[in-house]
Structure 1
Amino acid sequence: MASIREETVLESSADDVWEVIGDFAAGPRRMAPGFVLDSQAEGDCRVVTFADRTVVRERRVTVDHDARRIVYAVVGGNVQPEHDNAAMQVLPDGEQRCRLTWIRDVLPDELAEPMAKAMSAGMEVIKRTLDHLSEPGSPAR
């Protein structure tokens, strides 16, 4: 099984970033506007539509507010890997700085390269969006 890891430092508090990341229903569109076109909750799942028209159905595995960690699994959509499980975690790194780690495990292994490219592009958008959340006019608010 391929494991993909992305990490970035955000110039925002861990609490502010978690408020967006931990929002299971709307978090994807809030953290990555333009990269994600829509995100809607349907029970314990959400349907996420990406700018490239990929649509995925993701099941919430856990949302741990104390650890600032969210885990979800792709369970449907127009792209259905054999296995696709991801976790995002926000860790404080000072008063107005934190680390966001995103880990994804996927099968078959051949999907790792295109998914890694997509995650890298997504993380760039997330960083632009979530840096400096306390400033007026922040797009994630």
Structure 2
Amino acid sequence: MATIYKEFVVEADAAHVWNALRDFGAVHTRLAPGFLTACHIDAEGARVLTFANGLVAREALVGLDDAHRRLAYTVAGGKAAHHHASAQVFDEGEGRSRFVWITDVLPDAMAAYIEPMMAQGGAAMKAALEGHAAPASMAV
């Protein structure tokens, strides 16, 4: 199983970053605008995301842990046989936090497609959380 690990520092309080991350249905406006163009919650409670490149993915919430500022989800359907991810926010002092995003995927070859998307998603998240405009090119 391939594991993709992304970590970045956000110049914002951990409580602010967590508040945006935990808002499962507003990921396209609060967490990764520009990278994601739409999100809606389906009848089963999963979020259906539309990416800037036109890709549509369905993500089911696996866990939401306020005490540890951690959210986990799985992607249902699509080309991957298995796709599970988690994101966690750590306090790095006043006005600063660390965002850790980990994805496990099968088959391993899917990592070559998912990793650049996560890199762009991370850049969009950092920009949004710090109150900056999203990077110019979000289409992957």
Runs (5+) with no aligned partner, structure 2: 134-140
* Superposed CA offset, 1:85-108 (max 9, x none): 000000000011000000000000
Residue 59 of structure 1 is matched in structure 2 by 60
- Cα RMSD for the two superposed structures: 1.6
TM-score w.r.t. length of structure 1: 0.89
Is this contact kept in 1: 2:14–2:96, CA < 8 A? Answer: yes
Residue 91 of structure 2 is matched in structure 1 by 92
Residue 110 of structure 2 is matched in structure 1 by 111
Q: Quick one: which amino acid aligns to residue 55 of structure 2?
A: T
Runs (5+) with no aligned partner, structure 1: none
Is this contact kept in 2: 1:74–1:80, CA < 8 A? Answer: no
Residue 123 of structure 2 is matched in structure 1 by 124
Residue 44 of structure 1 is matched in structure 2 by 45
* Superposed CA offset, 1:28-76 (max 9, x none): 4321111100111124311011011100111100011111100000013
Is this contact kept in 2: 1:6–1:120, CA < 8 A? Answer: yes
Sequence identity percentage: 39
TM-score w.r.t. length of structure 2: 0.89
Runs of 4+ residues deviating >4 angstroms: none
Q: Quick one: which amino acid aligns to residue 27 of structure 1?
A: V
